Copies of this chain bind each other. A is one copy, B any other.
Amino acid sequence: MDGLYIDMPLRYFLDKLAGKSPEPGGGSVAALTGALAAGLVSMVASLTFDKDKYQNVQAQIRSLLAASETLRIQMQELVQKDTEAYGALSEVYKMPRSTDTEKTLRTTRLQEALKKACQVPYEIAEKSLEIAKLARQAAEIGNTAAISDAGVAVLLANTCVRSAALNVRINLNSIKDETFINITWTRIQGILEQSANIERVVMEFTYKKMG
């Protein structure tokens, strides 16, 4: 590929996703899902901005929009970063393993590449939890006419967290460093729990607000 996925037509990304190449895969899609969630939070904020009816929340709406746009850009970058980490891993898998020296070197490099391949989805999960919090705020103070969009945002943010967690898990399974595994997975479980709670609260609230 010659450019960033984000600069290619949406159809290209979807065709490439569906094809034989393992990249882009679940990790990139998780990041894109997070970017879509952040984009919807930004839309709800944009539709609340400068509206008389929402005069008393304008300062919060401005902060909300700034925060969601920052996270959206970061998520858009993570779409690419995930494919890069995957590419690096694929290179290591191709390393020779005829001699003992080669085998040792390959194992060391593989463990490093696997940790890196874990860190990208970990970062995606962490940032998506932040997006879920922003979606909650959008549902609470945003334009009521866009309440279903705030609801969709929280669903996407939580799905991003859960999708990223699957990608962390599958990479952890090949890692030998038990301390790294335990720390990473314990943290991911904490993120999963917080994100699921936010989703539950916001969905109840969204259906209530829709009447």
Q: Which residues of A contact B (CB under 8 A)?
A: 5-11, 13-14, 17-20, 22, 25-26, 29-30, 32-33, 35-36, 38-40, 42-43, 46-47, 49, 68-69, 72, 76, 146-149, 151-153, 155-156, 158-159, 162-163, 166-167, 169-170, 173, 206-207, 210-211
Q: Would B20 and A46 count as touching, CB distance under 8 A?
A: yes
Which of chain B's residues have a CB closer than 8 A to the CB of A33?
33, 36, 156, 159
Which of chain B's residues have a CB closer than 8 A to the CB of A155?
159, 162-163, 166
Q: Would B18 and A43 count as touching, CB distance under 8 A?
A: yes
Q: Would A18 and B72 count as touching, CB distance under 8 A?
A: yes
Which of chain B's residues have a CB closer than 8 A to the CB of A19?
42-43, 46
Q: Would B152 and A210 count as touching, CB distance under 8 A?
A: no
Q: How many monomers of this chain does the complex have? A: 2
Kindly identify which residue among B14, B38, B162, B163 contacts A35, using a CB–CB cutoff of 8 Å. B14
Kindly identify which residue among B153, B163, B207 contacts A152, using a CB–CB cutoff of 8 Å. B163
CA distance in complex: A156, B37 (Å)? 12
Who on chain B is nearest to A168 by CB? B148
Q: Would A47 and B76 count as touching, CB distance under 8 A?
A: no
CA distance in complex: A46, B39 (Å)? 31
CA distance in complex: A36, B166 (Å)? 16
A204 to chain B, nearest CB (A): 13
Who on chain B is nearest to A203 by CB? B162
Which of chain B's residues have a CB closer than 8 A to the CB of A148?
26, 166-167, 169-170
Q: List 8 A-B contacts (CB under 8 A).
A: A6-B9, A7-B9, A17-B40, A18-B40, A18-B42, A18-B43, A26-B152, A151-B163
